[in-house]
Amino acid sequence: MTKTTLPDGFLWGGAVAAHQVEGAYNVGGKGLSVADVMTAAGNQEERRITAGVQPGEFYPNHEAVDFYHRYPADIKLLAEMGFTCFRTSIAWSRIFPQGDELEPNEAGLAFYDRLFDECLKYGIEPVVTLSHFEMPYHLVTQYGGFRSRQTITFFTRFARAVFTRFRDKVKYWLTFNEINNQTNYDRAFTLFTNSGIQVHAGENAEAVMYQAAHYEVVASSLAVQIGHSINPDFQIGAMVAFSPVYPASDQPRDVFKAQRAMQSRFWFSDVQVEGQYPTWLTRYFQAKHFDLDITQADLANLKRGTVDYLGFSYYMSFATQATDHEDDQFSYNEAHDLVTNRFVPQSEWGWQVDPQGLRYALNWMNDRYHLPLFIVENGIGAIDQLEADHTVHDQYRIDYLRDHIVQMKLAVLEDGVDVMGYTPWSAIDIVSASTGQLSKRYGFIYVDRNDDGSGSLARYRKDSFYWYQHVIATNGAEL
Ligand code: BG6
């Protein structure tokens, strides 16, 4: 019999990441992270990465929306919306300020104790990402980030420290946020935020990416094993950015190009879910003469440390087409190989809005992975207008989220996909990861802060706040 409602216990909430909300970048012993050395950019512009913190530069994450000091009031608002879960990350550099210490920083751990206690007080389940674009900057300058195998040790030490400390407070974990963003290895932002890597002139960025990503999937598999040994009830997931890549036409070449694009974007989850590399990719490494450091012990760990569920973000879909000069591999270079899909509209930031793609995503992953899926990000960045009476009429956000929830429900109720929960991006306005803007707003709660850092930091409920409150109250029945 077809079910008509989402299952009881479906997790409804919202998501943020530590570096995009907390601020307090040098408080409580916190060290610099990669997010602390990125400047603010404009619409569809890339942020600059500076060598450390430079005088005269503006770093929007340093203060962000001051969640570090305001979290009790903010969590209260999330509880008012009816959240049953809240996704955030633990800023790695609060716990290991430099990244390579042997012992964690107590003040950092104590902050997350307070934060998680505050969530649990309202019955809000924390969903915690270990690494969300927040590697300690010292690991970048001293070790080249995930260029170095040693960084696996630093990461697993961090994972062990927080798994141990929050053993009884956090059940749902994610290892690396959007680990597959670096498929776009020619974009400085993705390699820097995923892996703490800056590519030197003359280097093969693609090979550098595959090596770093290998160390990360190994680090993830070790973290899964450590986590399960600390608390067998932990649910530890992988996390990918799921933008499906459609073929631009029905030409077989385009269809194969799209398949290669999907393989290139999702081998990360293949490995984390299945515990082994897909055959095409091991052949690809040989064909490209990538001489990677992949040991037998690594391969054994990948098998032992497969994830319990798959979390993913969904914002948009992509499209691609083959060129006249494909090599035998139909090599996919995301910086060059995407085309505009004329059938879907774009946001102000050029993101292709495609609600049905979410149903496609859920079906694709369900067929491939046979694991519970968790939509841990979905949302639209838009300019909001704060009215004189402190209201915000963000009907476009409501429309976007409603259209996506409709498709999620079709996947669950009609297609039988096992979806654990839905945490739209973002619970509250944040600093945009890719542009550093505050004006690219995502939240249900408006924060009075501008791109240049001015503003009172006061919080106001948007129309979407009340709409989402009703969605949660009806378990998604009334949209
Ligand atoms: C995802 C990230 O890429 O999308 C978030 O996990 C990010 O950190 C979100 O904020 C939206 O992207 P952006 O670049 O508009 O902030």
DSSP 300-355: HHHHHT--SEEEEE----EEE---TT--TT----HHHHEE--TTS-B-TT--B--T
Ligand 1 touching residue 433 (CB < 6 A): yes
Peptide bond into 464 cis (omega under 30): no
Across 215-276, the runs of DSSP E, i.e. the strands, are: 235-241, 245-247
Average pLDDT of span 332-342 = 95
Which listed residue (22, 125, 216, 377) is catalytic? 377
Nearest atom, ligand 1, residue 433 CA: 16
CA of 181 to the centre of ligand 1 (A): 11
| For ligand 1, mutation pick of 16, 38, 334, 425 (most atoms within 8 Å of CB) | 425
Q: What average pLDDT does the segment 148-157 reach?
A: 98
pLDDT computed for residue 166 by the predictor = 98
**Is the CB of 425 inside a 6 Å radius of any atom of ligand 1?**
yes
Residue 63 annotated among the catalytic residues of the structure: no
* pLDDT tens, position by position, 6-43: 999 999 999 999 999 999 999 999 999 999 999 999 88
Judge if the beta carbon of residue 177 lies within 6 A of ligand 1.
yes
- Rounded distance between C-alpha atoms, residue 313 and residue 321, angstroms: 24
- Say what the pTM is: 0.97
pLDDT band for 1, please (50, 70, 90 cuts).
very low
On whether the CB atoms of residues 453 and 60 are closer than 8 A, the answer is: yes
Which of 44, 34, 250 is CA-nearest to residue 138? 34
If you take atom 14 of ligand 1, which residue's CA is the nearest one?
A: 434
| Distance of CA 159 from the midpoint of ligand 1 (Å) | 23
DSSP 387-428: -TTS----HHHHHHHHHHHHHHHIIIIIT---EEEE--B-SS
Answer yes or no: is pLDDT of 2 > 80. Answer: no
Mean pLDDT of the chain: 97
Can you tell me the distance from the alpha carbon of 87 to that of 14, in angstroms, rounded to the nearest whole number? 6
* Amino acid symbol at 179: I
pLDDT digits (tens, 9 = 90+) for 263-299: 999 999 999 999 999 999 999 999 999 999 999 999 9
CA distance 85 to 87: 7
Paired tokens of 63: 């203060």
How far, in Å, is the centroid of ligand 1 from the Cα of 358? 17
Catalytic status, residue 46: no
In the reported structure, the alpha carbon of residue 225 is separated from the centroid of ligand 1 by a whole-number distance in angstroms of: 28
Say yes or no to pLDDT of 155 above 80: yes
- The span from the CA of 319 to the CA of 336, in Å, is 12
- Tokens 């042997």 locate to 102
Contact (CB, 8 A) for 51 and 462: no
Q: Do 97 and 58 contact (CB within 8 A), yes or no?
A: no
Q: What is the pLDDT of residue 349?
A: 86
Can you give the pLDDT at residue 44?
A: 73
State whether the beta carbon of 464 lies less than 6 angstroms from ligand 1: no
245-247/318-320 β-pairing: parallel
pLDDT higher than threshold 90 for residue 4:
no
Angle at 149 between CA 225 and CA 371, to 5 degrees: 35
The residue written with tokens 């305001």 in the block is: 70
231 C-alpha vs ligand 1 centroid, how far in Å?
Answer: 30
Is the pLDDT reported for residue 442 higher than 50? yes
Q: SS3 for 272?
A: helix
* pLDDT for position 262: 98
**Whole-angstrom distance, CA of residue 367 vs CA of residue 16:** 29
381 touches ligand 1 (CB under 6 Å): yes
Average pLDDT over residues 451-467: 98
Which ligand 1 atom is the nearest neighbour of the CA of 315?
Answer: 4
| pLDDT grade for 46, boundaries at 50, 70 and 90 | confident
Q: What is the predicted pLDDT for the residue at 3?
A: 59
Distance CA 95, CA 29 (A): 9
- The residues facing 5 across adjacent strands are none
17 ligand 1 Cβ < 6 A: yes
Q: 56: CA distance to ligand 1 center in Å?
A: 26
DSSP state of 162: H
Q: Whose CA is nearest to atom 7 of ligand 1?
A: 433
Q: At what angle do helices 252-274 and 279-287 cross, to 10 degrees?
A: 110
Atom 4 (ligand 1) nearest CA: 433
CA–centroid distance, residue 294 to ligand 1 (Å)? 30
State both tokens at 417: 């996909």
Is the Cβ–Cβ distance between 433 and 193 less than 8 Å? yes
Query: Which of these, 3, 29, 32, 9, lies nearest to 19 by C-alpha position?
Result: 32
Phi/psi region, residue 275 (left: phi>0; alpha: psi -120 to 50; beta: rest), is: left
Find the catalytic residue in 22, 178, 216, 274.
178
Checking if the pLDDT of 213 tops 80, the result is: yes
